[in-house]
Structure 1
Amino acid sequence: MSGRLKVVAFSSVFHLAVLSGCAELSSSGWIATDDNPQLAQAEYRRGMEYTQGQGVEQDYARGVAEFKRAAYHGSANGAYMTGMSYLTGRGVGHSFSNAAQWLDQAAKQGHSRAQYQLSRLYLGGNGVDRDPIWAMFLAGKAAAQNHPKAAFELAVGYAKGLGLPESDAAAWYWFSQAEKFQIEHSEQLRRKMQRLTTPAQRQQISQRMLRRQKPDRATAQYIQQQLKRIGYLQGSVDGIWGQQSRVAFNRYTRQELLLSDVAIDWNTLQLLRDTR
């Protein structure tokens, strides 16, 4: 396929993904044309009042309707609560696929709880195609925002080599983070990983995890995994965004997308996921 045809193909894939992602959303006719933070906040607040019965008769269906309106006007919390409503079947029919669509909308906006819940769906293949690598990326984004269960999930991923490079030291680090929040089994598993690692390894991983970089570690590691999968990266997948990673990513964007200086955002990551 020529470079120009590749760009057309990628654009078509992305456009279709957007349309399919909005299939459930557009059924109500509430698609927003622009963000309205004040209106979104008011609608989200009304949604909470109805679902919790605060000052009004408890009505989950009306609450979900308000959450949807809030989401259409740019509320990540509204999208998250709509997704969780579909996940639990409260106020709407239970639907993994609809839950995934709404949680994805919130996750794109950096909502840590949405990122964690979405990671669980991708890990189990519920309502979406199973994708452990994307699941661990989402867990990593949530864990970086101190989501306790996401930290535990990330630790399990490193311990088992599930969606991540197997690493006892990294597993030790994330079990340690989960232990701070008293997540069940985290202490025992942290101790197990500690027996499998040396003090030097634990010190090295702690220093590496605390190092600030751009893009963040979860994003860097995910890009490295995908670039390695499609043959653009020969080095290690370590989450460190160094020169080798930058060169490989730039080569990928030039050859596959016919673009340079591409911003690393959610849409770019989706295109990278779809590259075969």
Structure 2
Amino acid sequence: MTAEILCVGTELLLGDIVNTNAQYLSKELASIGIEVHFQTVVGDNAERILSCVRTALGRADMVVLSGGLGPTKDDMTKERIADFFGKKLVRDRRAYDNMVQKAHEFGVFQITEGMKKQADVPEDSFILYNEAGTAPGCILEKDGKTAILLPGPPREMKPMFETAKREYLIPKAGGVILSVNIKMKKPGEAPAEIVGEAPVAERLDDLLESREPTVATYAKEDGCLIRVTAKGTDREEALNKIIPVVVKICLRFPDAIKRIYE
């Protein structure tokens, strides 16, 4: 299963906030075997959001969106996704009651129309109730394509995604992707002609061409990092693919490895 992450918010494009949601979602999706091929950021514009969704679902099985579910006029993610999937918005009583309760907890007692619209969800969708905020998320399916809508604030998005992962994604994912990291000593701790990125890559030339598992090197200030990644039906199968490659790497750098970790 493949996915694209679509983060909605003009503040992201302006650099006002750091897009930590994309990093979190990429790691979480990979951990259950869903391959993320693209990440996209789009501003709060209805037509551009819809265009990005069309593009995403044209090249991936699933689009995971964060942001644009709030009470203001520029929060329009839900409306555009409902249009795309041909669904009407209906008010969910549990979501409405939760919104009112959370608003009261935040000291807000006048419920505006904008706040009320947060409880509107696409009909026949899998609703993801928000335990940390006022806007619910949801999951929609049509013709083999899936959209997962999540709020933008990380403290709301993360627990909601955990629910989506546990109750919806894991049963559908059919596998896990596992990575094992090999941290090299930095120059000064070991000879630079051995632990520099170029010498490391040269010694691993044959392994870097492997597709299963994959091997990649990354230059870091505190020493080169080697990452071995494999996909399996479960953690054990993925690990069984990784271990022989990790052993080969260790044998090629017997005195230059600092630590090995997931």
TM-score (norm 2): 0.30
Higher gyration radius (CA): 2
Question: Which structure dedicates a bigger proportion of its chain to strand?
Answer: 2
TM-score (norm 1): 0.29
- Which protein, 1 or 2, shows the higher relative CO under an 8 Å CA cutoff with sep ≥ 6? 2
